[in-house]
Amino acid sequence: MTDIAADTLNAPTRAAELRQSLAQVRAEVGKAVVGQDAAVTGLIIALLARGHVLLEGVPGVAKTLLVRSLSAALDLQTRRVQFTPDLMPGDVTGSIVYDVKAGDFEFRAGPVFTNILLADEINRTPPKTQSALLEAMEERQVSVDGVSRPLPEPFIVAATQNPVEYEGTYSLPEAQLDRFLLKLVLDLPERDTEIEVLRRHAAGFDPRDLAGAGVRPVLDAGRLAEAQASAASVGVSADVLAYVVDLARATRTSPSVKLGVSPRGTTALLASAKAWAWLSGYDSITPDHVQAMLLPVWRHRVQLRPEAELEGVSVDAILRSIVSQVQVPI
């Protein structure tokens, strides 16, 4: 038997092993974070699809802890930037500085040169600094003084933000929102979940000491790259492709919508559905996978008309209505 044939036979087994490794990542995150299973799944899907994630929620719902715990469960380099009103673009991307000893100018890399960038409270910094991430998120490189420098692989931005009605926040521009693969909303915990949070703290849990909580790295860059390639190979039929396009076109013609989903949004939904299908053990995506990922992938890409907002209509409600109206392929 040739090596190629052996690899073909071993592919399902290897995929199962990689899925088990990602399940271990979930278990490690669960040692620190309680009751945010959907957000953990979303972050893993973003890793598989090589996309960026925006986490929104009121202060204190474990947005930062969630990303820090995921980082601790991965054998990848992670850096954190606290976005503040006085943060400058060079503080994120890096800048040219003069080296007195060498007598020459040199580039000093910013924290964006990492595998996972935790952009904490990204909407507390002005648009000028927010836009410093645009090139990094889309092209995975940083250009300073006419020189483009590639970012390491893998590279994802996991950004947290407070709801836009909070004082001292700046709404992210449409161009930047569109570069986030997913927007995950973290709600306040249920009663039993909050009791479990308190029980852990009463037992001595320290959110600043993840190693002390037992969170350890269980997945490295090599195996993550294998999982990404395996997820990207998931098949999709012509009918499902047409279904994704029909859903996107429905957002553009909805009377309540000012800005519908762009072609980048359709490709993002396809990539996310592939990742979710792969995680679920499927060889090809179904309409169910598309529907499951539609809200987190599209909720930040759709803008409502002012009159719809005044009536209290939500983007999620509009998207659910569209899903119910667009014909599902058999």
pLDDT in tens, the chain (330 residues): 445 444 544 778 899 999 999 999 999 999 999 989 999 999 999 999 999 999 999 888 999 999 999 999 998 999 999 999 999 999 999 988 888 877 788 889 999 999 999 999 998 888 888 888 999 999 999 998 889 999 999 999 999 998 866 667 788 888 889 999 999 999 999 999 999 999 999 999 999 999 999 999 999 999 999 999 999 999 999 999 999 999 999 999 999 999 999 999 999 999 999 999 999 999 999 999 999 999 999 999 999 999 998 898 999 999 999 999 999 997
Contacts of 97 (CB under 8 A, 6+ apart): 105, 106, 107, 108
The CATH number of residue 275's host domain is: 1.10.8.80
Q: Tell me, yes or no, whether 50 and 178 share the same domain.
A: yes
Model-wide pTM > 0.85? yes
CATH number at residue 173: 3.40.50.300
Question: Is residue 292 domain-shared with residue 220, that is, in the same domain?
Answer: no
Which tokens in the block code for residue 296? 């987190």
On whether both 185 and 238 belong to a single domain, the answer is no
Do 115 and 173 fall into the same domain? yes
Q: Are residues 196 and 268 in the same domain?
A: no
The two tokens of residue 25 are 């990542």
Clarify whether residues 76 and 162 are in a common domain.
Answer: yes
- Per the structure, the count of domains in the chain is 2
The range of the structural domain enclosing residue 202 comes to 3-233
Cis peptide before 163 (omega within 30 of 0): no
Same domain, 243 and 216: no
Query: How far is the C-alpha of 326 from the C-alpha of 246, rounded, in Å?
Result: 7
319 and 252, same domain (yes or no): yes
